[in-house]
Amino acid sequence: MSKPKVVVTGLGAIAPNGNNVDTFWLALLAGKSGIDHIKSYDTTDHSVTIAGEVKNFNYEDHIDRKTVRKLDRFAIFALVAAEEAVKNAKLDSSWLDPDKIGVILGSGVGGVATLVEQQNVLQDRGPKRVSPHFVPKMIANIAAGHIAIRWNFKGPNQTIVSACASATDAIGIALRLIQAGDADVIVAGGSEASVLPLTIAGFANMRALSTRNDDPQAASRPFDLDRDGFILSEGSGILVIETERHALARNAPILAELAGYGATDDAYHVTQPSEGGAGGAKAMQKAIANAGLKPEDISYVNAHGTSTPHNDKNESKAIRSVFGDYADKLKVSSTKSMTGHLLGASGAVEAIASVKSIQKQIAPPTINYQTPDPECDLDYIPNKAQSFEINSAMSNSFGFGGHNGVLVFKKYTNNN
């Protein structure tokens, strides 16, 4: 029995360089960074004082004040991005079957801001002052739950936690659920809001973050010889995916085909990728095969590209091992050079960038690329967006714990 074709019909995004899909996409094409000095707390005594914070975002423009008090920032981002995606997909459960509409999200740390806040309340004011909203604000699955409640989506509802691969895995698992017949439509993606003194200090002390504090917008420099770490960021990306048949029946806008998904684990080290990126390479091979493609069919790779010494060289080696001689013709870029690293949400905003690249036949650049690294020897679309034929795009996500998730999108063609 052949698998149903699955298509993307809606997109929603909140990122450090854009609070909706159009603004985010135009910022990527313009090479505009959303990384800046941290404004949400006093960074005195911190070795890292820069991050990718969402800017000019007022909760109450989207959600009533009473509800906002019951939500962690990561859940608010997810709800607002979902609102954009659902609207753009023309998705209305009042006349569709709500039992066949699901929600699968990814988040690396969920409501960590609420956890920190309420721990401080407990310590300073005692157990009786801990908020009764603490648990339902904090737990990572709550964003998916709120989306289901908001739109009456009663299908499969899960939250995936696989570090920086969380959103990619969520989208991939959503693809599998639709292909299995468990849902006609799934709202899938990820959300993260972890720019906090505790998380910044933790990542900084393990030497994972860039310390280029004097020049924030030049700090994220994937594949560049002078890269010195990633930039912690926040935001959300949401995609609406559904069977082609369902989308055509309801006259939905079809943006691209979600054609393939591959996942592996390095089983090597808790934070570093396996040597040569072997696990990531296997995930890429699985995704390409799952899409029914050959490596040379891929036009563009939105790389994980974190701007860390280990990831970038190993991802480059992995890409070269998968694509062989064709790797010299392949276009690769890291949009983390402009967004920073959204942890569990990164794969979703990068999936959106991949879909838009196919739609618009132009790929965003890797900005801040100045000094080539001999160990990173691919075409990284340096500093300026490039137009070329993009029939298929691949999006890579690799996370702590050795998690590897890869998605493949194709230009949509109606063969009916």
Return the SS3 of 356: helix
Q: Is 341 annotated as catalytic?
A: yes
242-267 pLDDT tens trace: 999 999 999 999 999 999 999 999 99
Where residue 399 falls among pLDDT bands split at 50, 70, 90?
Answer: very high
What are the distances in angstroms from CA 37 to CA 28, 49, 67, 367, 368?
Answer: 20, 6, 29, 18, 17
Q: Output DSSP code: residue 172.
A: H
- Work out the percent of the chain whose per-residue pLDDT is above 70: 100
Where residue 275 falls among pLDDT bands split at 50, 70, 90?
Answer: confident
For the chain, the C-alpha Rg in angstroms (whole number) is 20
Q: Tell me the three-class secondary structure of 247-301, residue by residue.
A: HHHCCCCCCEEEEEEEEEECCCCCCCCCHHHHHHHHHHHHHHHHCCCCHHHCCEE
Predicted local distance difference test score (pLDDT) of residue 416? 66
124-170 pLDDT tens trace: 999 999 999 999 999 999 999 999 999 999 999 999 999 999 999 99
For the residues 316-333, what does the mean pLDDT come to? 98
199-237 pLDDT tens trace: 999 999 999 999 999 999 999 999 999 999 999 999 999
Paired sense of beta strands 256-265 and 6-14, if any: antiparallel
- Given the residues 164, 246, 376, 403, select the one marked as catalytic: 164
Q: Cα(338)–Cα(27) distance, rounded to whole angstroms? A: 8
348-378 pLDDT tens trace: 999 999 999 999 999 999 999 999 999 999 9
Q: Cα(234)–Cα(57) distance, rounded to whole angstroms? A: 12
What are the distances in angstroms from CA 208 to CA 48, 109, 300, 330?
Answer: 10, 17, 27, 28
- Given the residues 146, 246, 341, 403, select the one marked as catalytic: 341
On average, the pLDDT of the chain sits at 97
For the residues 334-356, what does the mean pLDDT come to? 98
Q: Cα(62)–Cα(129) distance, rounded to whole angstroms? A: 29
Q: Is 164 annotated as catalytic?
A: yes
Q: Are 283 and 289 in contact (CB under 8 A)?
A: no
Give yes or no for residue 1 having a pLDDT over 70. Answer: no
15-41 pLDDT tens trace: 999 999 999 999 999 999 999 999 999
- Given the residues 146, 246, 304, 403, select the one marked as catalytic: 304
Give yes or no for residue 273 having a pLDDT over 90. Answer: no
Give yes or no for residue 343 having a pLDDT over 80. Answer: yes
Predicted local distance difference test score (pLDDT) of residue 60? 87
Q: Is 376 annotated as catalytic?
A: no
For the residues 378-388, what does the mean pLDDT come to? 98
57-113 pLDDT tens trace: 998 889 988 899 999 999 999 999 999 999 999 998 788 999 999 999 999 999 999
For the residues 308-322, what does the mean pLDDT come to? 97
